[in-house]
Amino acid sequence: VLSDLHDAVDAVFEALAHHENWGPSGNRPDQYASDVVADRAVREALEPGGYGLLSEESPMTTAVDGGPVVVVDPIDGSTNASRGLPWFSTSLCAVDSDGPWVAVVADLVSGTRYDAVRGWGSRCDGE
């Protein structure tokens, strides 16, 4: 699961690498085009693995065979991003029947990644 969440973050970095429209999406108030692009990247990375997804940017999907649901904030701080302020991230947390299980938060400006696994502790950039 940890590897899958990191793969999803990689997909966000790739999707945003040449993204130029950081303004409103036009879909709803307070949603930016970058939110939609990042959300799509996460979904395309995780849905084939059977994960359920709960995102503030798109409808919830159910996990296959009782698997974990990943809570997604594709761009946490999208207003900052839209204004050119360098404080925004992608935040993912896989939740199972016991609660939060595995999480990855990636600073989309510096590339720094934080991850944590229930019972194992947390790391910054793998350390």
pLDDT of 124 strictly over 90: yes
Give the tokens for residue 122.
Answer: 């947390």
C-alpha dist (Å) from residue 101 to 52, 96, 119, 123: 14, 6, 9, 14
Describe the crossing of helices 33-46 and 2-16 by its angle, rounded to 10 degrees. 140
Enter the pTM of the model.
Answer: 0.95
Residue length of the chain: 127
Q: Which helix (H) or strand (E) holds 44?
A: helix 33-46
Please report the pLDDT score of residue 114 as a whole number. Answer: 99
pLDDT digits (tens, 9 = 90+) for 65-115: 999 999 999 999 999 999 999 999 999 999 999 999 999 999 999 999 999
**Which residues 6+ apart lie within 8 Å of 13 measured at CB?**
106, 108, 111
Q: Which residues pair with 104 in a beta bridge?
A: 92, 115
* C-alpha span between 35 and 58 (Å, rounded): 10
Domains (ranges, CATH) in the chain? 2-124 (3.30.540.10)
Per-residue pLDDT of 11-55, as tens digits, reads: 999 999 999 999 889 888 889 999 999 999 999 999 999 999 999
Minimal CA–CA distance to 53: which of 87, 41, 108, 24? 41
